[in-house]
Amino acid sequence: MYFYAARQPILNKEKELYAYELLFREGLDNVFPEHIDGDEATTKMIEASRFNAGVVEFTHGKPAFINFTLDTILKGYATMLATDEVVIEILETVKPGKRLLAECQKLKELGYTLVLDDYKHQKVWAHFYPYVDIIKVDMLETSVEEIHEIKNAIQSFPQITLLAEKVETPEQYQQCVDLGFELFQGYFFSKPEVVKARNLSPSQLAMAELLYEMSKPELDLVAITSVFERDVTLSYKLLRYVNSPLFRRRTEISTIKQALVILGIAELKKFLGLLFASNMNPDKPSELVKLSMARAKFCENIGAIMPDKVDTSTTFLIGLLSLIDAILDEEIGVVLDKLPLAQEIKAPLITGKGVMAALILLSEKIEKAEFDAVQTIIDKLGLNKEDVVKAYHDAVVWADEQTQMANG
């Protein structure tokens, strides 16, 4: 399953790339789906940008202009992206009011760049000018007289830049330059191109469990950690989010519990709200996901009986991520580079060396019924064959149970 977005460049007067606008799409057809409203489009865009591909992979490090409705602004979705990643584009359908003004003040104080999209001049917008950085003007809908009116209204706010959108011809571009526009967007430069990224959906059961846990007066971190550990997709999205510059991590992460502690209650609730809103019809768990769950539980079970003590939370996470490259159709090194994991987790998955890597190899050999190799690894790790067989059987049963529950 893929996530799709249309990406259109925004250029400066030197025709150098300034940013991209990202527009939600459902497939390779470069049109906005009629059955999707603005709220749903924004939640899906932020969910994909934060937890799947990452904004920088869509925009190559340039800022991303993303449309926001009042509802998605109030829910705090904008703050799930870093200030240097996103430009908050307030849709033209949003009415100026006290709630929006308060949110603009907060976002500006946090360092976000704010844009008024498809601007239609009204005197009430003057209250917003101190917090606005860019005003987008539709050149097909706005007369020269109206543009002069806008320029006069904002002349006391030199931080506001005018962006001309729907610039269709060279003549129109030159006219925009003469009128004082500094940023430009339109078919004269480039039509939106559709880009796609692998999109994963956490199971609806896991989401329901987490929302239930979050509703309790006192959070049970053990129970919440358990839910994340049963869903490889959810764990991946959590690790991607915690890797955001927003959290300014000083240490690498070695367990799911550690990632949840770093996130904190408020951000965890926001994270879950966005995921729930953008994954109302998730796919059922695939066999590949079920296999990664079985590996995770197997590695945890073996970690608990190894002669040399190991952290079973760490062995679980290594097993859980052992097939993430196949799930995402990306090289394992590329995938792990996006995650804030400790080297003790990354190294075995990338190099295939060490005790932790041996646990993954052991599970692979059991899956392939290569029993001579299984025995060799068992001997090297100092394990008992019967214990290993039981650990694998229990892991498969556990993974089957979780999949059946997720499938409802």
- Give the rounded percent of residues in the chain with a pLDDT score beyond 90: 28
Read off the pLDDT of residues 188-229 as tens digits, 9 standing for 90 and up. 665 554 555 555 555 655 765 675 676 566 778 888 888 888
Alpha carbon distance 300, 194 (integer Å)? 41
SS (H, E, C) the chain: CEEEEEEEEEEECCCCEEEEEEEEECCCCCCCCCCCCHHHHHHHHHHHHHHCCCHHHHHCCCCEEEEECHHHHHCCHHHHCCCCCEEEEECCCCCCCHHHHHHHHHHHHHCCEEEECCCCCCHHHHHHHHHCCEEEEECCCCCHHHHHHHHHHCCCCCCCEEEEECCCCHHHHHHHHHCCCCEEECCCCCCCEEEEEECCCCCHHHHHHHHHHHCCCCCCHHHHHHHHHCCHHHHHHHHHHHCCHHHCCCCCECCHHHHHHHHCHHHHHHHHHHHHHHCCCCCCCCHHHHHHHHHHHHHHHHHHHCCCCCCHHHHHHHHHHCCHHHHHCCCHHHHHHCCCECHHHHHHHHHCCCHHHHHHHHHHHHHCCCHHHHHHHHHHHCCCHHHHHHHHHHHHHHHHHHHHHHHC
Q: What is the pLDDT of residue 204?
A: 57
Alpha carbon distance 261, 66 (integer Å)? 29
Q: What is the pLDDT of residue 207?
A: 67
Alpha carbon distance 162, 169 (integer Å)? 18
Alpha carbon distance 405, 91 (integer Å)? 40
Q: What is the pLDDT of residue 2?
A: 46
Summarize the confidence of residues 288-294 as an average pLDDT. 78
For residue 176 the two structure tokens come to 């925009």
Q: Which residue has the higher pLDDT, 368 or 132?
A: 132
CA 187 to each of CA 10, 59, 167: distance values in angstroms, whole numbers, following the listed order: 11, 18, 6
CB 228 within 8 A of CB 256: yes
Q: What is the pLDDT of residue 368?
A: 80
Q: Is the pTM of this model over 0.75?
A: no
Alpha-carbon torsion, ordered 167, 171, 176, 182, to 10 deg? 80
Confidence class of residue 276 from pLDDT cuts 50, 70 and 90?
A: low
Alpha-carbon torsion, ordered 43, 47, 49, 53, to 10 deg? -140
Q: What is the pLDDT of residue 91?
A: 86
CA dihedral (324, 326, 330, 333) positive or negative: positive
Read off the pLDDT of residues 86-122 as tens digits, 9 standing for 90 and up. 899 998 888 889 999 999 999 999 999 999 998 999 8
Summarize the confidence of residues 22-43 as an average pLDDT. 49
CA 247 to each of CA 90, 158, 250: distance values in angstroms, whole numbers, following the listed order: 25, 32, 9
Alpha carbon distance 212, 210 (integer Å)? 5
Summarize the confidence of residues 120-133 as an average pLDDT. 93
Q: What is the pLDDT of residue 159?
A: 95
Summarize the confidence of residues 156-166 as an average pLDDT. 94
Confidence class of residue 240 from pLDDT cuts 50, 70 and 90?
A: confident
For residue 204 the two structure tokens come to 């609806």
Q: Domains of the chain: which residue ranges? A: 2-198, 204-278, 287-407
Q: Which residue has the higher pLDDT, 141 or 334?
A: 141
Confidence class of residue 72 from pLDDT cuts 50, 70 and 90?
A: confident
For residue 39 the two structure tokens come to 């709220």
Summarize the confidence of residues 293-300 as an average pLDDT. 88
Q: What is the pLDDT of residue 19?
A: 87
CB 272 within 8 A of CB 234: no
CB 130 within 8 A of CB 139: no
CATH of 2-198, one of 3.20.20.450, 3.20.20.70, 3.30.450.40, 3.30.70.20: 3.20.20.450
What is the distance in angstroms between the CA of the first residue and the CA of the last residue of the chain? 21
Mean pLDDT of the chain: 79
Residue where the block lists tokens 């097909």: 140
Q: Which residue has the higher pLDDT, 333 or 159?
A: 159
